[in-house]
Amino acid sequence: MSTPTLNVRKIVTVVEEIRLEGGRVVETPARVAIVAAVIANPWAGQGFVEDLNPGIDAVASDLGALLAPEVIAALGEVPEAYGKAAIVGLDGEIEHGSGLIHTLKFGDHFRKAANATTLLPAVEKRAGAGTVFDIPLKHITDATIRSHHQSVEARIADAPHPGEIVIALAAAAQGRPQQRLAPLSTEQ
């Protein structure tokens, strides 16, 4: 079998700017960006693949290198929260998406671009084209900062096809707009 390569069908970028929350103006509009790559599943059509490592080695780092600078640029600000997603088409396995995003080869590109130290929160699932998925976000250096626990909804109308995977990164320039929860330390 040949070594898989990164095969990108398209990139989708969404930037959300929240200006009003809870009936009040958000003093500084809250920005969240998502950049998603729709890629060919590197294991498509091979049946059950025992060793995913050759595909991970061939695709994960290039994918992280592609997406990390794109989501930072789309955000247009210094990220304070981040997350990732893998939505696997119906002919694939959830493990295919997990294999690509749950490796330092992928995640370290985003960590370095964001000057982050925490693990990237993630969502992964198998679904058909047009599925809605929520990308969880946490603070880039302290996962206990409650104001940055949030999620952003994403959907790509024509993806993933059965033999594709949607891999997405999301970044926020701040915590939730109008957040008012006390710090976790007040409960300890």
Question: Tell me, what's the pLDDT at 4?
Answer: 77
76-90 pLDDT, tens digit per residue, is 999 999 999 999 999
Q: Would the pLDDT of 129 be above 80?
A: yes
Q: Which of 120, 63, 126, 137 is nearest to 96 (CA)?
A: 126
Question: 112-117: long-range contacts (C-beta < 8 A, 24 or more apart)?
Answer: 112/68, 113/68, 113/69, 113/72, 114/68, 114/72, 114/79, 114/82, 114/140, 114/171, 115/140, 115/141, 116/79, 116/82, 116/140, 116/141, 117/141
Q: Would the pLDDT of 125 be above 70?
A: yes
Task: Kindly give, in sequence order, each residue whose CB lies less than 8 Å from that of residue 93, ignoring residues fewer than 6 positions away.
Answer: 43, 126
CA–CA dist 145, 150 (Å, integer): 11
> Which position has the token pair 């959907």?
155
Q: Would the pLDDT of 112 be above 70?
A: yes
Residue 105: pLDDT band by 50, 70, 90 thresholds?
A: very high
37-68 pLDDT, tens digit per residue, is 999 999 998 999 999 999 999 999 999 999 99
Residue 1: pLDDT band by 50, 70, 90 thresholds?
A: low
Question: Tell me, what's the pLDDT at 187?
Answer: 72
DSSP secondary structure string for all residues of 82-101:
EEEEEEE-TTS-HHHHHHHH
Question: Tell me, what's the pLDDT at 2?
Answer: 64
Overall average pLDDT of the 111-128 stretch: 97
Mean pLDDT of the chain: 94
CA–CA dist 117, 80 (Å, integer): 11
CATH for 8-187? Answer: 3.30.1330.110
Q: Would the pLDDT of 157 be above 80?
A: yes
